[in-house]
Structure 1
């Protein structure tokens, strides 16, 4: 699964995703050892640097 936000992209390997769960949780965090700590802000359409709503697409086969 590939994820992107603006120009930042990352991916998950199939082995990292549990296919046996009925509910999945998405966690967004700033690690304590990150260079710029102090919070995490999620913006939607009309706010922030990227004028788009938050979209999550997942395909499994």
Structure 2
């Protein structure tokens, strides 16, 4: 199961000490960490496939 936003924020606070980070800043930080370590980011389609999820035709309300 993928971590929820609150879990990502807690980890960011633990490792970086920044409790005021926005969602965008958390994503940018995660992308930087992943690419600095030589990993490639998954596309949304690849992530769905890895997690065994189907693509939704519409966004649930």
TM bin, normalised by shorter chain, reads 0.3 to 0.5
In the superposition, the TM-score normalised over structure 1's length comes to 0.33
Higher relative contact order (CA 8 A, sep 6+): 1
In the superposition, the TM-score normalised over structure 2's length comes to 0.33
Which structure carries more strand by proportion? 1
Which structure carries more helix by proportion? 2
